[in-house]
Amino acid sequence: MENNQQLPEEKKPEVVVPQEINKTKTPRNINLFKIGTVNVYSHEKLPAPLKKRYEKHYQGRRHHLWFDFLLALALIIAIGFNIFLLLSPNTYFYLKFGNFPLLTIHKGAPEELKLDLRQKILEPESQSINLGQNIKLEITLKNNSNQAINNIDLKISLAGVQSYNLVAGDLNKTIDKLRVGETITNELEISIISATENLAAIQTTAELTWQGDEQVIEASAVSFKINSQISLQALARYYTTEGDQLGVGPLPPEVGKKTTYWVFWPVISGFNDLSQAGVRGVLPPNVSLTGKSTVNLGAAIKFNSITREISWEIGAMPKNQQAQAGFEVAIIPTSNQQGLAVNLLQDIIFSAQDDFTGNIITVYSSNITTDLKYDSFAQGLCFIQ
């Protein structure tokens, strides 16, 4: 008997294609610090307590880690500074904010400030001057201390001076740093124009901060005696200031005719007493002394016919004393002087001894001519006709 029953189809075995296995390992970069992430505590080889501390305090809070790092650094610096203080026999530490002191530490004997400040006069050689005369001053500053000095302010002051002219240099100067053993030199040149006293003094000071304290070092002052400033005028008039006539004869002067003028010598002694004071001048050949004169101090006017010198011996003059002499002169112009303004008095000089400075003071005046520049009523009437 034929069996028509079909056998079940034999199940084919499933073929599994193996996947390619990548045996290449990616190298692991081990960085304790990397830009943008702080992962010190995340290293796999760190002990478990440190990892636990990282997960608890720093994971996701990187600023906490940096804050603790800075505190630890500050602690190390503080410990090192204290060790330095313990081992150093002499220590000075000063901390300030601007001009406000924050901390000052002294240990042992403080360093001594040794700053040598001196000033010396280069010109003039004598210790007396005339107003308007230049003074040259040399200032030296040397650091003999055991450490450098910073920010030294040099200041120069003038006593007894009303006004002055700074010719060269600076009255105030700042020295940023003066090293150990270093010397600096500052030269100054000034001219005293006017003074309130007859004695002027120059003082130099150095201002600085030394170990937290403000220090002022002064150089020995130098002083000058000031010679009396003599005021001398030599002038002639034909009219008074009110217009009254003093002179006699034609004005302007004429050739061959006599014209008379009055000559005046007003003198002021200044702020020092004077002795042996006097004024003198010389008459030109065609000018004569009429014999009329007046003085308010000292001896009468004298005339030497040989030297043709007119002299007025004043003698002693207290300070700020005003004295005046006046005398009449006559001129008879010659033909070769026609069209000119000619001399009435020449070689005029004042001399006296300054009792305070001991110097002989000499003041010169310009010649007096027929051009009467101080006589407003005789202006332009000066040329010989």
Per-residue pLDDT of the chain (385 residues; tens, 9 = 90+): 444 455 455 555 555 545 554 544 555 544 444 434 445 545 555 566 666 666 666 655 556 667 777 777 888 887 876 776 666 655 556 566 655 665 665 555 557 888 999 988 898 888 888 988 899 999 999 999 888 888 899 998 888 888 999 998 888 888 888 899 999 898 889 998 988 889 989 899 999 888 777 889 888 888 889 999 899 999 999 999 999 999 999 999 999 999 999 999 999 998 899 999 999 999 999 999 999 999 999 999 999 999 999 999 999 999 999 999 999 999 999 999 999 999 999 999 999 999 999 999 999 999 999 999 999 999 889 898 8
55 three-class SS: helix
Coil, helix or strand for 282? strand
pLDDT at 32: 46
pLDDT attached to residue 347 = 96
Strand partners, 94: 104
DSSP per position, 209-275: EETTEEEEEEPPPEEEEE----EE--EEESB-TTS-B---S-SS--TTS-EEEEEEEEEE--SS-EE
Instruction: Write down the pLDDT at residue 37.
Output: 42
Rounded CA separation 356/379 (Å): 42
Contact 288, 344 (CB under 8 A): no
Amino acid at 338: Q
Burial class (CB within 10 angstroms; exposed 0-12, middle 13-18, buried 19+) of 113:
middle
- 70-86: burial string, b at 16+ Cβ within 10 Å, e else: eeeeeeeeeeeeeeeee
pLDDT (0 to 100) of residue 293: 95
C-beta of residue 274 within 8 angstroms of C-beta of residue 229: no
Q: Which two tokens stand for residue 31?
A: 């960085």
Task: Note if the bond before 124 is cis, omega within 30 degrees.
Answer: yes
Give bridge partners of residue 267 from the DSSP assignment: 232, 323
Q: Which pLDDT tens digit goes with each residue over 189-201?
A: 999 898 888 998 9
Exposure on the CB side of residue 376, measured as CA atoms within 13 A: 3
Threshold 0.85, pTM exceeds: no
Element spanning 309, H or E: strand 309-317
pLDDT, residue 76, reads 87
194's enclosing H/E stretch is strand 183-195
Residue 49 φ then ψ, to 5°: -60, -35
**Are 262 and 328 a contacting pair, CB within 8 Å?**
yes
